[in-house]
């Protein structure tokens, strides 16, 4: 069964099933946080539980952003896991502690039992690891845990302007998830495109994304154009992660 994402127009481009893990990446100011909050709170509105794992903002900042978009951050069905500190001071300098964040996530998945999870941002998490195989291993741990708990997930990826044509700073993240959404600034505002949807048919064209105080809306750049559907065959990766 497909989920109601809370993003107006997205269901016209792809029907996303439950327990599907997405990566949404883009440069600053492309509506990633608004997209993520609306995605989560649509679940709350539908009677689901939603967890926001924040590595860059405090719990109060996340709740304030949600309230500004007209959501109820004090709902018992919404929870923020504040994991902004991934390191501690040690005798030899800074000591990275990603396992603490993963342990907190595990507890929240088992005790709070969310149906939807947003991870903001996967970029900050991956940047603490030096080698790509280690990045892949640790991100896979998170994806595996979400899938084991039957969660639908959205990872937010931060992209610098120098890499604005890419959906993520770290390419390894693109192989671990099921679907990839790209947000990009252009002369018309924010461009939205789907780059990957494993096993699904989807519209791979570039569309316009409008972000208001209360709604994220996706619409064709030219409504007279027909939609070109990507197939489940060409949306499969050649280098899949064993999950």
Average pLDDT estimate for 110-130: 95
What confidence tier does 86 reach under pLDDT thresholds 50, 70, 90? confident
Choice among 22-26, 81-85, 163-167 with the minimum mean pLDDT? 163-167
Domain 10-230 has CATH 3.40.710.10: no
Check residues 8 and 163 and name the one with the higher pLDDT: 8
What confidence tier does 222 reach under pLDDT thresholds 50, 70, 90? low
What confidence tier does 243 reach under pLDDT thresholds 50, 70, 90? very low
What percentage of residues in the chain have a pLDDT greater than 90? 74
What pLDDT does residue 130 have? 87
Check residues 160 and 74 and name the one with the higher pLDDT: 74
Place of tokens 């280690």: 134
Q: Crossing angle, helix 98-111 and helix 132-148, to 10 degrees?
A: 10
Total number of residues shown for the chain: 243
Give dist(CA 229, CA 191) in Å, integer: 18
Place of tokens 């507890």: 107
Given a cut of 60, whether residue 230 has pLDDT beyond it is no
Alpha helices in the chain (DSSP H): 32-45, 59-68, 98-111, 122-126, 132-148, 172-176
Provide DSSP, 25-88. EE-TTSSHHHHHHHHHHHHHHTT--EEEEESSS-HHHHHHHHHHTT--TT-TTEEEEE----EE
pTM: 0.88
What confidence tier does 231 reach under pLDDT thresholds 50, 70, 90? very low
User: Residue 77: which of 47, 104, 53, 55 has the closest Cα?
Assistant: 47
What pLDDT does residue 93 have? 53
Average pLDDT estimate for 201-230: 80
What is the CB-side half-sphere exposure of residue 6 using CA atoms within 13 A? 21
Radius of gyration (Cα) for the chain, nearest Å?
A: 17
User: Residue 123: which of 171, 79, 162 has the closest Cα?
Assistant: 171
Q: Mean pLDDT, the chain, as a whole number?
A: 89
192, β-bridge pairs: 183, 207
Q: Crossing angle, helix 32-45 and helix 59-68, to 10 degrees?
A: 80
Could you tell me the residue ranges of all domains in the chain?
10-230
């Amino acid at each position: 069964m497909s989920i109601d994402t809370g993003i107006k127009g997205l269901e016209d481009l792809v029907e996303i099933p439950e327990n599907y893990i997405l990566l949404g990446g883009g440069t600053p100011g492309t509506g990633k946080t608004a997209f993520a909050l609306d995605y989560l709170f649509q679940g709350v509105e539908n009677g689901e539980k939603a967890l926001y794992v924040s590595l860059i903002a405090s719990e109060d900042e996340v709740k304030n952003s949600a309230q500004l978009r007209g959501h109820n951050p004090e709902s018992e069905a919404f929870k923020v896991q504040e994991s902004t500190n991934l390191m501690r001071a040690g005798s030899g300098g800074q000591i990275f502690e990603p396992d603490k964040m993963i342990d907190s996530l595990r507890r929240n998945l088992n005790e709070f039992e969310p149906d939807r999870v947003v991870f903001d941002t996967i970029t900050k998490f991956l940047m603490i690891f030096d080698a790509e195989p280690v990045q892949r291993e640790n991100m896979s741990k998170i994806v595996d845990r979400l899938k084991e708990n039957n969660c639908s997930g959205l990872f937010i990826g931060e992209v610098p302007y120098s890499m604005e044509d890419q959906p993520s700073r770290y390419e390894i993240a693109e192989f671990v998830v099921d679907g990839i959404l790209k947000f990009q600034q252009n002369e018309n505002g924010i461009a939205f495109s789907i780059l990957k949807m494993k096993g699904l048919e989807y519209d791979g064209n570039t569309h316009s994304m409008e972000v208001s105080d209360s709604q994220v809306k996706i619409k064709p750049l030219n409504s007279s154009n027909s939609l070109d559907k990507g197939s489940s065959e060409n949306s499969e990766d050649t280098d899949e992660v064993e999950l």
